[in-house]
Amino acid sequence: MRHLATALLACVAALPATAQPRDYVADHQGAILAEYVTLLAIPNVAPDTPDIRRNAAWLMAKMRGQGLSPRLLEGPDATVPPAVYGEWIVPGASRTYVLYAHYDGQRVTPADWTSTRPFEPRLYTDRLDRGGKPVAGLPTTLDPEWRLYGRSASDDKAGVMAILTAIDALKAQGKRPAFNLKIVFEGEEEAGSPHLAAILDRHRTLLASDGWIIFDGPENQSEAKQVVLGVRGVVGVNLTVYGPARPLHSGHYGNWAPNPAMQLAQLLASMKDRSGRVTIKGFYDDVTPLTAAERAMIDAVPNTDARLKRDLGLATSDGGGRPVAAMTQLPSLSVTGLRSADVGDKARNVIPASATAALDMRLVAGNDHQRQYDRLVAHIRAQGFFVVDHAPTPEERRAHGPIAFVSKVGGYNAERTALDHPLATAVIRAVRRRHADAIVLPSIGGSLPLYVLRDTLAAPSVTVALANHDNNQHAEDENLRLRSLWDAIRVAESIMTLER
């Protein structure tokens, strides 16, 4: 909504001031949302460095106004998105924690968005697929179930906003954190954090701490908040299978010219069985088993599978009936995109020249991203493909068939902190102080480069996952339920003020 922020601020200006707010979030919802809309309106696609730096400048200005002495933590050169750092040092504090969120976002295809343009945030009365309608004007009360649509509304500018607004709340109430508070907002997490290790290493003295608290990820599908002790690793793969040097008439050449789309489909089908278990040799061999306490965490999670299937229009799920919380503790392989010629009203009667798939493999503790990639390549070779690490030359295409170009896209390992670690116990207490039913899990299904914190700074980490689980993260029509934003701010404040 183009004038949403202006309207919100005008409404808030008319409210009576309170010297000691009963609840900062309740008394400042309009102002908080107006500020958030302003931040969401700045495009933040990870590879677009100029826009990323515009976001960093906004964050610097906000943090400077809060007295956090912000600075940019630059990478090797100006083309690398910077991290934004700030601090609130408390005299006499015996602990130091870093609060982290990332301010970059996934790529967008504006034509796919039905709600709004990705960087023109807009409020709706409900989820669009449940009949949500645009909010006209500005009611005096903001319904906590309304949805704010826009790129990064949930992933992960919500984490950024929760941290910054919690600081506003403390300062407004004359409070201070219970520890030395350091803040890091990363600018290239959605690009795989390729320079994070170098940035951390360059500033290791500045970033010394007792641990990192990560604000990212969705609540549990039961709508309970989550404290997550670990995250999965990830490695991306681009896979292209080649056929004829140019597209051919499917009538004249069908049954004779190899069809790369069919070859790719058969190759992908060989990677999983009908239950969804990955059939690549060794794929599960080096998984670190869960402890008894970690298995108990998973058993305690409410089983929401039946409700999820109804909501998502699914008759069955992979995993032989095991619940989603259990399946996300295992490594996985997903096809995230397919392309070959055209479909629908653009389809033509051709045998395509090539077919491409994008894959991602999620990793758990014990997996190594390079080793999992090597296993995938070995599987492709075992299916009879000649594998190259470059676009094949005409001579290679004539000499070998079938032929596949396989390339690795980034990659990092999983990370997990022990349940009895002081950081874990402190964060769990802080979150449950606000949400007694909060769930604790060994790992969340998504990935963050938290292994870098351990490898570079010897720092443990715990993740607080608070966005609504149905937020369309990474997809079109990304959204955030307002209640989730209010809850995240209050949880951040609870974490900042938790004594030992």
Of the two residues 46 and 177, the one the predictor is more confident about is 177
Contacts with 274 (C-beta within 8 Å, 6 or more apart), sequence order: none
Distance, CA of 442 to CA of 366 (rounded, Å): 14
Residue 5 has pLDDT above 80, yes or no: no
For the stretch 397-421, pLDDT in tens is 999 989 999 999 989 999 999 999 9
The residue from 412, 434, 454 where one domain ends is: 412
Residue 476 has pLDDT above 80, yes or no: yes
93 inside domain: yes
The residue from 391, 412, 433 where one domain ends is: 412
* 67 shares its domain with 143: yes
Segment 310-338 mean pLDDT = 94
The residue from 380, 412, 444 where one domain ends is: 412
* 203 shares its domain with 59: yes
Q: Output Rg (C-alpha) for the chain, integer angstroms.
A: 24
* 365 shares its domain with 465: no
317 inside domain: no
CATH number of the structural domain spanning residue 403: 3.30.70.360
Let me know: does 105 contact 160? Beta carbons within 8 Å: no
- Per the structure, the complete domain to which residue 131 belongs is given by 4-229+417-496
Q: What pLDDT, on the 0 to 100 scale, is given for residue 18?
A: 39
For the stretch 159-179, pLDDT in tens is 999 999 999 999 999 999 999
* 194 shares its domain with 141: yes
Per-residue pLDDT band at 137 (split at 50, 70, 90)? low
* 166 shares its domain with 241: no
* 359 shares its domain with 486: no
* 143 shares its domain with 247: no
* 220 shares its domain with 253: no
CATH number of the structural domain spanning residue 204: 3.40.630.10
* 453 shares its domain with 336: no
131 inside domain: yes
Residues found in the chain: 500
- Beta-bridge partners for 72: 84
293 inside domain: no
* 225 shares its domain with 238: no
pTM: 0.86
306 inside domain: no
315 inside domain: no
* 173 shares its domain with 238: no
313 inside domain: no
Residue 11 has pLDDT above 60, yes or no: no
Cis ω for the linkage preceding 156 (within 30 of 0): yes
Phi-psi category of residue 464: left, alpha or beta, with phi > 0 → left and psi -120 to 50 → alpha: beta
Q: What pLDDT, on the 0 to 100 scale, is given for residue 20?
A: 46
* 221 shares its domain with 264: no
Q: What is the mean pLDDT of the chain?
A: 93
388 inside domain: yes
Give me the number of domains the chain comprises.
2
